[in-house]
Amino acid sequence: MNGVINLGNEWLNVQSVPQLWKELSESADFVCYEHLKNTGSVYIGYFKSLTEPEVLQRHILGCLSSHPDISLEDLYVLIPIAEKELATKWDDIQNKLYRGFVAIQYSGQSHPCMLVNAAASKGRSVTMPEIEFTVEGPKEAFVESLDVNLNLIRKRVPHSDLRIKELTVGSISKSRVAVVYIHGITNEQYLNTCIQRIEGVQFDQITDSTLLQQMIEDDSNSIFPQTIGTERPDYVAWAVSSGQICVLKDGSPTAVFAPVNLWLFFITYEDYYLPWIIASMLRLIRMFSVLFSVYASPLYVAVMTYHGQGISNVFLPTIISSRINVPFPPVVEVLIMELVIELLREAGARLPSKIGQTIGIVGGIVLGTAAVEAALTSNFLLIIVALSALASFTTPIFRMSATIRMLRFPFIFAAQIWGLLGIFICTFALVAHLLRLTSLGMPYLVPFYPFRVSDLYDTVIRPPYSKFHHRFSFFRSSKPIRFDKNNANQKKDIDE
Amino acid sequence: MKSTEQPRFTISPFLVFVFIQAMQFGSEYLSMSTKPIQWAGQDTWISVLLCGGCFHIAIWMIYRILNHNGMDLPGIHHQFFGRWAGGVLNFIFIVYFLLIASYELRFFIEIIQVWLFPELTTWPLALVMLLLVYYIVAGGFRVIVGICLFSLIRYITIFALLFPAVFFHYGNLSPVFDHSLNVLVQAGKSLTFPFGGVEALFFCYTFIEAPQKSEKWAYWANALTTVSYLLIILFTLLLFKPEQLPKEIWPQLTKYKFIQFPFIERFEYIGAASQILWVIPILCFCLWAPSRICKLMFGMKQLTALPFLFVLIFTAVCLIPGHESIEAVQKMLSEIGFYLIFAYLPFLFIVSVIRMKVRRVA
């Protein structure tokens, strides 16, 4: 009697299994051969590029050779590999073949297909984080394999409520996407929104979790990112413990988490490893440097074009003498310098590392000095533009530093049109834009607007851990208490 | 009692404080001190307190009306006066808000034209400001209140009062209580326009989360405005002689001339440009409220009504040519505002009380 295999909606005769595998044999790396036995033949099919030859040769073929007349069920029990299954649906078989499984099919009777995991794991090993390097604290970073990443997270949150929901996204890439959250702490509404958005993604090739980041964002027309991407597992552990949701994708070393607000972009994870006073000062320096980076060049344009009388008499000779040979109006000067710096940055990102350092020095020093001597720009502006370029990199999240880089150009144009008033108007437009942004439905500027006094504690200044007794209320978690503050140490009187 | 709008469009009661003081403290504070001081001289500060107290009562009346009926003013007009008369009253409010918006914008543009850019024509700045306001209003009521919160930065300019402090003549304040009550009331009457702005409560009542809880925040907002105006009047009294005042159009901007920082020579560039912080919240609300009345009256979408109002304000602003016309508009608005708060509001209050008594009896 001929067995049948379920091919989606069609049933197919089992004897034409090699027919089906012929389709896959169009690829040169699909190996399919017939292992002859006394009672029939065994068809073995696998992708050479996806499987580990050791597993195949030693365990599977070894079993088959030493037990020539073994039936499928006994073979299933005998093979010493943990992940194996029996499948009858062609879709399942195909999916598993693409994940590195080996398909073993007995001919002759109606047998299901046995799938054995022989996947080869090739990829980077866990190394130091490159972008979010911290001096203190663990130095493990995510790699491209989802299983290794989940291992790094689970190690840090060995809690029974840590749930991982796996989805498949992308019609061609069929990526495994894992949504990590702590059940009972995360708000259900945010979680459902996140999962719905991921499931609703219609795209063919998802190469990185940052593509997912852009597709599940609230407002994709805004230059401000509404999710944070990180490569540190300790940051992810902190985030899920606070009530945020983390999304990881197989093949991507970046973990994306949401919901976020604007102030979280100025927090490095190193803040939590340093004492609170130092960490707070560093945060303040970062915020100041971002403001400086955005406003320095536009203020230069505004003051030099319209409000020259506003510069005090002490300063005036220096500034005027530095600009005395420059034939351009201030705005052209600023735009030239900004474009040169952007050029240097873009070129430096693509240069091979051996030439990169030399060109960096050449570009930085020689170009700068030469520009001043060629009277393309003034000394004063050079310092301002270089400092503001540096300052834009103090934001620890890379996407935000790209935003800050771009943000100053509308301000420069506004300053050219109406000077200081133009800068004010542009600031209002920026504030209005930030007020309208949401991240998974949470307003972007919380806790400053809507004003929540109880949540101001970890925003600009990081207080000591004894004050962290409840989670942020804007994450709307069902368990907002971290620890009971009444159990904290009682204050002692002098000499008590 | 909860608000009637969806929760994600509502604001918390504390933000009513921020909102009301932003609506009250508009850019007319620059010129508000000349007329009262002409009437009441050195006792003008008493008029300020008097006026603040009257507005306290006005807010009390507003809350009684709104709490009894649980809906905002267009709905109240509809219920009290029927469809047609209520429609006429709503229309009057639309025109009132549009006039306020045009006046504020034109006032601000004039300041910029005098202090920053003498050759600036009116219409480009009006256009850009209105586009900015359109973007803010299109974000909804929450964004407007957020802008009001952001414009609280303007209180930093109080520190600018420290610099002229060495020139204050404290003797200007005496003799105290030298003027008759009649004169004080006259001075208080000319102060109603700066204090006006509480009628905004009528239109945003349904957007507050727990409306009855917000009453005390409205009182605090009024108190803050009273204290600010007190400071302004005191500053004007202490610095200027009464004969100098008729020559000063904007006494408040003169204080920026006293500021001396080592690296900034003329601080009034920053001072004049920062007047935008006073203007934008009022402009936003005065563009949002008429569109909301249009939506409630005619059933059209707010986003459809906005461009029309935008064009109306823009034409109005461009048609006000010079300083005298601005003053004429201000006089007109002053009168309308005075009758609104001191005639129409008590009338509405009495009608509301009578209706409640009738309902209870029936």
Task: State residue A90's pLDDT score.
Answer: 78
Which of B2-11, B174-183, B193-202, B217-226 is the least confident region?
Answer: B2-11
The mean-pLDDT minimum among A244-258, A341-355, A432-446, B211-225 falls in A341-355
Predicted pLDDT at A456: 79
**Cβ contact, residue pair A451, B149, below 8 Å:** yes
Select the more confidently predicted residue: B35 or A181: A181
The pLDDT of residue B5: 65
Q: Is residue A454's pLDDT more than 70?
A: yes
* ipTM, 2 dp: 0.90
The CA radius of gyration of chain B, in Å to the nearest whole number, is 21
Contact yes or no for A431 and B147 at CB 8 A: yes
Compute the nearest-CA separation of A271 from chain B (Å): 28
The whole-number average pLDDT for the span A143-152 is 91
Beta-carbon separation of A425 and B129 below 8 A: yes
d(CA A441, CA A476): 11
Inform me whether the pLDDT recorded for A3 exceeds 50.
no
Q: What is the arithmetic mean of pLDDT over B21-34?
A: 86
Percent of chain A with pLDDT over 70: 94
Query: What are the tokens at A183?
Result: 């059940």
pLDDT tens, position by position, B145-154: 999 999 998 8
What is the pLDDT averaged over residues B52-80? 88
Contact B175, B21 (CB under 8 A): no
Task: Indicate the pTM of the whole model.
Answer: 0.88
The structure tokens listed for A273 are 């490893």
Percent of chain B with pLDDT over 90: 29
Q: Which residue has the tokens 């580990």?
A: A52
**Among the partner residues B125, B143, B263, nearest to A312 by beta-carbon distance:** B263
Cα separation values, A115 from A17, A75, A206, Å: 15, 11, 27
Output the average pLDDT for chain A.
Answer: 83
Give residue B284's pLDDT band: very low, low, confident or very high (50, 70, 90): very high
Using CB atoms, which residue from B128, B149, B261 is nearest to A449? B149
What mean pLDDT comes out for the span B176-196?
Answer: 84
Instruction: Kindly report, residue by residue over A363-419, the tens digit of the pLDDT.
Output: 777 877 888 888 888 888 888 988 998 888 888 888 888 898 889 999 999 999 998
Residues of A in contact with B132 (CB under 8 A): 425, 428-429, 432
The verdict on a CB contact (< 8 Å) between A312 and B262 is yes
Backbone dihedral angles phi then psi of residue B165, each to the nearest 5 degrees: -60, -30
Interface of chain B against chain A, CB under 8 Å?
Answer: 11-12, 14-15, 112, 116-117, 125, 128-129, 132, 135-136, 139-140, 142-143, 145-147, 149-150, 261-267, 269-270, 273-274, 276-277, 280
Q: Is the pLDDT of residue B133 over 90?
A: yes
Which chain A residue shows the shortest CA-CA distance from B275? A421
B180-189 pLDDT per residue, tens: 888 888 888 8
Could you tell me which residues are beta bridge partners of residue A102?
Answer: A116
Percentage of chain A surpassing pLDDT 90? 19
| Residues of chain B contacting residue A418, judged by C-beta atoms under 8 Å apart | 117, 125
Q: In this structure, how many other beta carbons lie within 10 angstroms of the beta carbon of residue A196? A: 10
Three-state DSSP string of A216-285: CCCCCCCCCCCCEEECCHHHHHHHHHHCCEEEEECCCCCEEEECCCHHHHHCCHHHHCCCHHHHHHHHHH
Size of interface A-B (CB pairs under 8 A): 90
Is B135 close to A429, i.e. CB distance below 8 A?
A: yes
Q: Indicate the residue type of B117.
A: F
How far, in Å, CA of A254 to CA of B272, rounded? 48
Q: Compare A72 and A431 and report the one with higher pLDDT.
A: A431
Mean pLDDT value across residues B288-311: 89
Residue of B15, B265, B276 with shortest CB distance to A310: B265
Of the candidates A114, A439, A462, A485, the residue with the CA atom closest to the CA atom of residue A270 = A462
Mapped onto helix, strand or coil, the DSSP state of residue A289 is helix
Average pLDDT over residues A111-119: 80
d(CA B33, CA A107): 101
DSSP state of A323: T
Burial (CB count within 10 angstroms: exposed 0-12, middle 13-18, buried 19+), residue A201: middle
Q: What is the mean pLDDT of residues B111-138?
A: 91
With tokens 């409520």, the residue in question is A161
d(CA B328, CA B351): 33
Under CATH, to which class is B7-355 assigned?
Answer: mainly alpha
Question: A421 — contact with chain B (CB < 8 Å)?
Answer: yes
Task: Please say whether the beta carbons of B282 and B197 come within 8 A.
Answer: yes
Q: Is the pLDDT of residue B286 over 50?
A: yes
The domain spans of chain B are 7-355
On whether the CB atoms of residues A43 and A34 are closer than 8 A, the answer is yes
pLDDT at A4: 47
Instruction: Provide the 10 A C-beta neighbour count for residue A31.
Output: 17
CA dihedral sign of residues B298, B302, B303, B306? positive
DSSP A336-376: HHHHHHHHHHHHHHHS-HHHHHHHHHIIIIIIHHHHHHTTS
pLDDT of residue B2: 56
Q: Which of B189, B254, B215 is nearest to B48 (CA)?
A: B189
Contacts of A450 in chain B (CB under 8 A): 11-12, 15, 142
Among B116, B129, B156, most A C-beta atoms within 10 A, so best to mutate, is B116
Helix (H) or strand (E) holding A403: helix A398-436
A44 has pLDDT over 50: yes
Give the type of residue at B159: F
Region label for B70, one of left (φ > 0), alpha (ψ between -120 and 50) or beta (otherwise) = left
Residue position matching structure tokens 């000394």? A379
Confidence of residue A17 (pLDDT cuts 50, 70, 90): low
C-alpha span between B107 and B327 (Å, rounded) = 9
Check whether A11 has a pLDDT greater than 50. no
Average per-residue pLDDT for chain B: 87
Residues of A in contact with B145 (CB under 8 A): 449
CB contacts, 8 Å: A456 with chain B: none
Report the alpha-carbon distance of residue A435 to residue B146 in Å, rounded: 7
Q: Is A486 exposed, middle or buried (0-12, 13-18, 19+ CB in 10 A)?
A: exposed
Chain A: residue whose CA lies nearest to B129: A425
